[in-house]
A = this chain, B = another copy of it.
Amino acid sequence: MIIAVDAMGGDHGPSEICRAALTACAEYDDLDIVLVGSAPVMEPLLESADSSVSRRISIVHTDERVEMNEHPTLAIRKKRTSSIRLAMEMVRAGEASGCVSAGNTGAVVAGGVLVVGRISGIDRPALGVALPTLNKYTFLLDVGANVRNKPFHLYQFAHMGNIYSKRILGVADPQIALLSNGSEDIKGDEAVSGAKTLIAQSALNFTGYVEGDDIPYSRADVVVCDGFSGNIVLKFAEGLMTAAASLLKEEIGQRVLPKVGMLFMLPMMKDLMARFHYEKHGGTPLLGVNGAVIKAHGRSKAPAIVSALRVARNFVKQNGVEQIREELGKGGA
């Protein structure tokens, strides 16, 4: 399986991405990676690798990149040799089974729509993320492909979330919910309330509204919201857990007794922090496009890129795109 990686995207550039490619190829021997980016920069970074790994990594050279603050659609249209666009063209042409980018989110979405193309029946793709919660995972979408959405967009997200949860995450009969400002019927804004009516009439296992605190308590398998709300929730979760972890470290540094305690507590605290450390679970699939397009966090270092490559590989192996296409073909959305 070939995965194309936008090696110029993200805050840390090619060095972290090359390290990630080497780690991922060492982990999975069915994985071939094409790094799209500056060859002179990347070649030395890959030189020292074992040949069993490095022979599965190739480079497609380009110096052009989409910057984080560029207008996404314009950048995708105009920068025809940008690393992100070239990676997506490989997906469209069938030269790669999927692609990963830690670049400009808007450009990933615009590239997904304009280059890779939408699945028939989907008006807007959505970024979904499997959030670790108390007992299991909750699949939250959209976390930032869109800003605001109409009821029928949310309705389509519900269907895609259902398929992803069932087919990729292996949940038998996923409970679908809409994120709202209260669980009562009178709550919600126009979009959420309209979507509630649409989803309730569908064949989905729909539980109605959930509130913010229902997410960590895993009260639904799939939580649907617009890209604005989902983005805030995801980033807030990342920030809160990172802040709590750094506060914990600081506290330990200041106290003597806790240091003794920490020797015993360390394995447990590590498990707990890892469970809720959302950044480690990097890699959100862009659902609704004709290919495995995986967005990694802009701040991703090598481990998060490896995680995104794992998500890409899994999505391809499970025939994610075909599953969505097939279910929608049955008259889903």
Q: Chain A residues in contact with chain B, CB under 8 A?
A: 68-69, 71, 105-106, 133-134, 144, 147-148, 179-182, 184, 186-189, 211-217, 227-229, 231-244, 246-248, 251-252, 255, 257-258, 260-265, 267-268, 271-272, 275-276
Report how far A165 CA is from B178 CA in the complex, Å. Answer: 33
Contact B233 A213 (CB under 8 A): no
Given contacts A217-B239, A258-B268, 6 further A-B contacts (CB under 8 A): A212-B239, A240-B276, A244-B272, A248-B268, A257-B267, A261-B264
Interface SS of A by simple majority: helix
Which residue of B has the minimal Cβ distance to A71?
A: B186
How many copies are assembled? 2
Contacts of A251 in B (CB 8 A): 268, 271-272
Report how far A248 CA is from B275 CA in the complex, Å. Answer: 11
Contact B261 A275 (CB under 8 A): no
Report how far A251 CA is from B251 CA in the complex, Å. Answer: 21
Contacts of A182 in B (CB 8 A): 105, 231
CB distance from A63 to the nearest CB of B (A): 24
Can you list 30 A-B pairs, Cβ within 8 angstroms, ordered by A?
A68-B184, A105-B182, A134-B243, A134-B246, A147-B187, A147-B188, A189-B228, A211-B235, A212-B237, A213-B238, A213-B240, A213-B242, A215-B239, A216-B236, A216-B240, A217-B243, A240-B241, A244-B244, A247-B275, A251-B268, A251-B271, A251-B272, A255-B268, A257-B267, A258-B267, A261-B261, A261-B262, A261-B263, A261-B265, A262-B265
Q: Which residue in B237, B241, B272 is a CB contact (below 8 Å) of A248? A: B272
CB distance from A261 to the nearest CB of B (A): 3
